[in-house]
Homo-oligomer: A and B are copies of this chain.
């Protein structure tokens, strides 16, 4: 585990924290949905909210104060809204902890505490951003409420790299098949709930809309039956995530319905993954990370089949906005 994470957990011990705000944009924000789910499920004393950075600043929550912990994230640390959110939160006296890949970035500059995460097969998964997000919330739960799951979460990450690599091998052919079948799709929906909703959101807005210019929408598996499901026909493609958290019944229900009336349902079920090395008590919280890793391969294959590299942009970083 990174020294910066241990340092921040020590800071948690010394400070009175009754609220966490998860603040970021796009893909960085999508990492935080599982953390919010964890606090809702596990915490007796800590409230939490999750906001896109600019919404957070303009909404200006009354309860943001010196007892608030604000966790922010930006890969390059240059997202202006997130940098402003960190500055704004410190001005309110809140404790700011920012995750970034760049220790020299503006976000690192304005944040009270920074955690520089790592990436890539060479590093232990313990030091990747999605892992650190969970280390922070379970670490907070440990120091504030004596929640013992922290150890299981960290040990899970130590085994996760090999799990991710073997599941990628298991799903390689499925990913190629998905890409071939949907390379001309005009719209692809994603669906999930609970701990997995953030992964569905990430694939919809970052991969499909941003990187592939394919229309999308991350439908909540429970909301599906109160409007969105009327769009379903034989043709509409839906990627259904099925996780291992307590909301799994919602995802099983939407899957069952979509399969009954649709012919283009792509299923990623965490029950198919070999998670024997992950303690049962935290499987539901770890499953989204495996789902995301496998989905990333689906994204790579889709980009390849469409001859539309994931790096292609028409506006982002290219025009003023």
* Partner-B contacts on A (CB < 8 A): 19, 25-27, 29, 37, 40-44, 47, 49, 52-55, 58-63, 79, 81, 186-187, 193-194, 204-206, 209-211, 213-217, 220, 222-223, 225-232, 236, 246-247, 249-250, 253, 257, 261, 313-316, 321
- Give chain B residues whose Cβ lies under 8 Å from the Cβ of A316: 225, 229-230
- Give A186 Cβ to nearest chain B Cβ, in Å: 7
- Give A208 Cβ to nearest chain B Cβ, in Å: 9
- Give chain B residues whose Cβ lies under 8 Å from the Cβ of A249: 58
- Given the known inter-chain contacts A25-B222, A40-B59, please indicate yes or no for A230 contacting B250, CB distance below 8 A: no
- Give chain B residues whose Cβ lies under 8 Å from the Cβ of A250: 54-55, 58
- Assess whether B246 is in contact with A59, with CB atoms less than 8 Å apart: yes
- Give A318 Cβ to nearest chain B Cβ, in Å: 10
- Assess whether A81 is in contact with B209, with CB atoms less than 8 Å apart: no
- Assess whether B231 is in contact with A215, with CB atoms less than 8 Å apart: yes
- Give chain B residues whose Cβ lies under 8 Å from the Cβ of A47: 19, 47, 63
Docked pose: A205 CA to B230 CA in angstroms: 9
Known: A55-B222, A55-B247. 4 other contacts (CB 8 A): A26-B226, A58-B246, A210-B228, A229-B316
Docked pose: A62 CA to B38 CA in angstroms: 10
- Give A213 Cβ to nearest chain B Cβ, in Å: 6
- Give chain B residues whose Cβ lies under 8 Å from the Cβ of A206: 226-227
Closest B residue, CB atoms, query A195: B59
- Assess whether B246 is in contact with A226, with CB atoms less than 8 Å apart: no
- Give chain B residues whose Cβ lies under 8 Å from the Cβ of A228: 205, 209-210
Docked pose: A220 CA to B30 CA in angstroms: 13
- Give chain B residues whose Cβ lies under 8 Å from the Cβ of A257: 315, 321
Closest B residue, CB atoms, query A226: B26
Most central of A41, A81, A186, A228 by chain B CB within 10 Å: A228
- Assess whether A211 is in contact with B187, with CB atoms less than 8 Å apart: no
